[in-house]
Structure 1
Amino acid sequence: MKKKLTVAVLGAALLFTTGAGSAFADSPMEQEINQLLGTRYSYGGTTPNGFDCSGFTMYVFAQLGLKLPHQSGSQFEMGSSVSRKDLRPGDLVFFNTSGRGISHVGIYIGDDKFAHSSSSRGVVINRLTEEYYVQRYVGSKRIMNDAKYEEAVSGTS
């Protein structure tokens, strides 16, 4: 019951924060992320029973037909670099949370927010402008080509 309530509250928060009229609203990617909000963190986890950060991104992208490796550093090697000011929903955002290079990844969802599996809170949404993430931000990668982006984020093909 508690997880369902948390998911409902977080899902409603995502709806209000992304804006009902945005390109991201009601998209396949948004729907996938919404149903995973509140999922517990699990080291090495790759399923809705529990995710680590790269397991979460790997799972979401797999539901959209894209294969990612299960390691944030390996995901960072994919796609093309994109500046923070040019981010679009579906881009991956990377952080150095360990002091030893790429150690965390999330999915940009628009409005300066990203979804990720936090080791302390499970699958949640945070702002890139939060001091913790500003200090640890390493870069972003665009994994989806324009056609896949339209399909996954806009809901058109």
Structure 2
Amino acid sequence: MTVTAGGAILLAPTAQAETTSESTVTTVKAETTAKTSKKVTAAQRRAAKVARQQAKARKAVAVAKNQIGDPYRYGATGPGSFDCSGLVQFAWKRAGVKLPRVASSQFARIRNKISWRQLKPGDLMFFNGLGHVGMYVGKGKMIHSPRTGERVRIDKLGGWRRSSFVGAVRPGM
């Protein structure tokens, strides 16, 4: 720091040292706070992403449930009639998530794979070597469009379903 007094320049090195150390402490505190807030922000972003996915899943389940009673028709994507993959594609589309058309592509292209124990409402469940898909609705049940001559319905996930289970995915992440 320099001070002028009557035309003479005076240097104050001790004042400069104090200012430098104070600014260093302030800078270190600011950097630490910034790092901490970035971590909190990342956690908040993850929590918000999960919340958005859950809201979409609730919407997809509600849309699928509104289709109960609609007839199965091979290749149908609704409204009014569905095949298995058409039903889940239709429900998730109404929730704002685009899915591939057929069950095998739905399983292959959705990255977030889920185990039987991790199932949450809205997850897609695949059976029979990816030949059939249904949507988990909670409490050990799924909604699906089973086969020709049947209608969209909710079924319990019993032993046969578990034995033919291939995997599950969580859309909307």
Q: TM-score, normalised by structure 1?
A: 0.68
Partner residue in 1 for 2:71: 40
* CA shift digits 1:35-63 (9 cap, x unpaired): 10011000000012210000001000000
| Greater relative contact order, per chain length (Cα 8 Å cut-off, separation 6+) | 1
Partner residue in 2 for 1:79: 111
Q: CA deviation at 1:64?
A: 0.5
* Structure 1 residue 102 corresponds to structure 2 residue 130: yes
Distance (whole Å) between structure 1 residues aligned to residue 169 and residue 62 of structure 2 = 22
Which of the residues 120, 139, 152 maps onto 1:111? 139
Distance (whole Å) between structure 2 residues aligned to residue 137 and residue 35 of structure 1 = 25
Q: CA deviation at 1:110?
A: 0.7
- Give unmatched runs, 5+ long, in structure 1: 1-22, 146-157
Distance 1:132 1:141, change over 3 A: same
* Structure 1 residue 127 corresponds to structure 2 residue 156: yes
Distance (whole Å) between structure 1 residues aligned to residue 102 and residue 114 of structure 2 = 20
Say whether the 8 Å CA contact 1:61–1:67 is kept in structure 2. Answer: yes
Distance (whole Å) between structure 2 residues aligned to residue 45 and residue 30 of structure 1 = 19
Say whether the 8 Å CA contact 1:39–1:51 is kept in structure 2. Answer: yes
SS of the aligned residue for 1:36 comes to coil
SS of the aligned residue for 1:122 comes to coil
Amino acid at match of 2:151: G
* CA shift digits 1:95-128 (9 cap, x unpaired): 01xxxx2100011111111111110422111122
* CA RMSD between the two structures: 1.7
* Structure 1 residue 142 corresponds to structure 2 residue 170: yes
Bigger radius of gyration, 1 or 2? 2
Say whether the 8 Å CA contact 2:88–2:134 is kept in structure 1. Answer: yes
SS of the aligned residue for 1:89 comes to coil
Distance (whole Å) between structure 1 residues aligned to residue 102 and residue 60 of structure 2 = 20
* CA shift digits 1:104-157 (9 cap, x unpaired): 0011111111111110422111122x2331221111111122xxxxxxxxxxxx
Distance (whole Å) between structure 2 residues aligned to residue 116 and residue 58 of structure 1 = 11
Which of the residues 90, 97, 112 maps onto 1:59? 90
Aligned residue pairs total 116
Partner residue in 2 for 1:28: 59
Distance (whole Å) between structure 1 residues aligned to residue 115 and residue 163 of structure 2 = 16
